[in-house]
Amino acid sequence: MVFCNTLGAFASLLVALIDPRVTNKAGPDWLWMGGRDDVVRNLFFKPNGAFRRYGLHALVLTFGAGGASLIWIVQRLGM
C-alpha cells in the first residue's frame, strides 16, 4: 500500500511537470513532508511552486543519476 501511494504521488508529480497548463509544478503541499517549507522542495521549486532558475535541470539530473545508480546496484547484485 505504501509503495502504491508513493508511486501515485510520483506519477502525479511527473504529470504536473509535463503539463504546460499547470502553474504549480511542485504539486500539492501534502506531497512534501514539510509542505512549502520542505528542504528538498526548496532546492528545486520557489514557494509559489514555479521552478527555480536551474530547478528543472537539477531535478532531471537527480532522477537520471538516481535511476543510473539503481541500475548499477541491480547489476552488481546479479553478479
Total domains in the chain come to 1
pLDDT digits (tens, 9 = 90+) for 3-21: 888 888 888 878 888 888 8
Q: What is the mean pLDDT of residues 27-41?
A: 83
Domain span holding position 68: 2-78
If phi > 0 it is left, if psi is from -120 to 50 it is alpha, else beta; for residue 45 that is beta
What's the mean pLDDT when you consider all of the chain? Answer: 86
pTM to 2 decimals? Answer: 0.68
pLDDT digits (tens, 9 = 90+) for 40-70: 888 899 988 888 999 989 988 998 999 999 9
Selection from 6, 31, 26 nearest residue 16 by Cα: 26
